[in-house]
């Protein structure tokens, strides 16, 4: 385990921002993590995982610890379910494909979400009507001060919409090292009612889909909307879908009856941020090398050499225009690293 200096983080973040880490260390096992957390003489310590849900706006004056913990293990199973422990550095999508190859159901709707498994609980990632919490059992995390491992139950994680304990009280205090999921082995609970999944399955000529079919449909939909970060720098959906109360929703839908919306509770509705942004005329626009994707207005992109600050300035511009036109506040889903 070696500390290196002035390392470009361009290969380590999906936006492809060419910021530097003043110090950098690769974490390949729990002992590496303990040792790194105990190192003295560094200005700060910064945890880097898959780099898929972040926008780096400056060089990072810290010891950047790249979490590269690998491994998948079935720790318990019966005729119907399996408990799968996945280490934090495993790529999420590759792990989902592995579960499907083994006949395990539950994660198929979350295919092709970028990033690593260890960051999934932080965001309570989700897509097409399914969230991580639906299959989540527990996670292990290391306390940054004491280096002790703690197991967090689903309740401990305080999951909300793209939210958790680890984004709030636990932020900076714990580093997730593994995630345990409960998946189905048969009688899979299939969710095909959200978004364009049913339409895509029809286009594929499938009326009774397997979990692999659902995954393939989700992958096709996402690929049609979302650019490959290896080709065009991006962090997937940049903004959260805003949730508004019934009073604001009633006013909004009266003025914009054509707007799509989703009922969350009797008192709240979700409005697609991509629709709001598109109505403001941003879809496909480019401002230097910072831009909005041509197929999905939720996605901000780096056309080559945009700085993180240029992308952040564009995000602020979009937020202001949406507020001005609709009176609705939208906020970033990605973590802004300043």
Spatial CB neighbours of 275, under 8 Å, sequence gap ≥ 6 = 259, 260, 297
Distance CA 299, CA 236 (A): 6
Residue 178 is a catalytic residue = no
Catalytic-labelled residue, pool 26, 278, 321, 333: 333
Catalytic-labelled residue, pool 162, 164, 200, 310: 162
- Residue holding tokens 């997730």? 176
CA 166 → CA 13, 153, 158, 262, 314, distances in Å?
Answer: 20, 13, 9, 27, 27
Residue 286 is a catalytic residue = no
Do 46 and 85 contact (CB within 8 A), yes or no? Answer: no
Catalytic-labelled residue, pool 131, 200, 237, 310: 237
Do 125 and 131 contact (CB within 8 A), yes or no? Answer: yes
Pairing of strands 290-292, 300-302: antiparallel
Residue 289, Cβ neighbours under 10 Å: how many?
Answer: 15
Residue 162 is a catalytic residue = yes
List residues with catalytic annotation.
162, 237, 333
């Amino acid at each position: 385990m070696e500390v290196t200096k002035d390392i470009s983080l361009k290969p380590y973040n999906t936006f492809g921002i060419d910021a530097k880490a003043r110090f950098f260390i690769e974490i390949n096992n729990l002992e590496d993590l303990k040792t790194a957390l105990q190192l003295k003489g560094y200005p700060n310590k910064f945890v880097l995982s898959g780099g898929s849900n972040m926008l780096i706006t400056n060089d990072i004056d810290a010891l950047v610890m790249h979490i590269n913990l690998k491994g998948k293990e079935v720790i318990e199973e019966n005729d119907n379910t399996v408990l799968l422990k996945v280490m934090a550095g495993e790529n999420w999508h590759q792990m989902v494909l592995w579960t499907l190859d083994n006949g395990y159901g539950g994660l198929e709707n979350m295919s092709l979400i970028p990033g690593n498994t260890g960051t999934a609980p932080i965001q309570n990632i989700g897509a097409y009507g399914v969230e991580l919490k639906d299959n989540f059992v527990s996670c292990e995390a290391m306390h940054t001060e004491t280096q002790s491992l703690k197991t967090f139950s689903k309740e401990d994680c305080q999951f909300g919409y793209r939210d958790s304990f680890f984004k709030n009280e636990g932020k900076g205090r714990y580093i997730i090292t593994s995630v345990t999921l409960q998946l189905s082995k048969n009688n899979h609970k299939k969710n095909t009612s959200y978004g364009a999944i049913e339409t895509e399955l029809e286009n594929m000529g499938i009326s009774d889909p397997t979990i692999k079919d659902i995954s393939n449909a989700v992958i096709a939909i996402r690929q049609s909307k979302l650019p490959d970060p290896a080709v065009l720098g991006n962090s997937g959906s940049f903004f959260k879908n805003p949730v508004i109360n019934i009073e604001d929703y009633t006013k909004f839908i009266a003025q914009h009856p054509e707007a799509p919306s989703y009922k969350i509770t009797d008192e709240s509705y979700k409005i697609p941020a991509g629709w709001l942004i598109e109505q403001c005329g941003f879809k496909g626009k480019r401002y230097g090398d910072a831009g909005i994707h041509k197929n999905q207005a939720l996605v901000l992109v780096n056309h080559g050499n945009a700085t993180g600050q240029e992308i952040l300035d564009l995000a602020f511009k979009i937020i202001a225009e949406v507020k001005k036109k609709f009176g609705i506040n939208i906020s970033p889903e990605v973590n802004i690293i300043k």
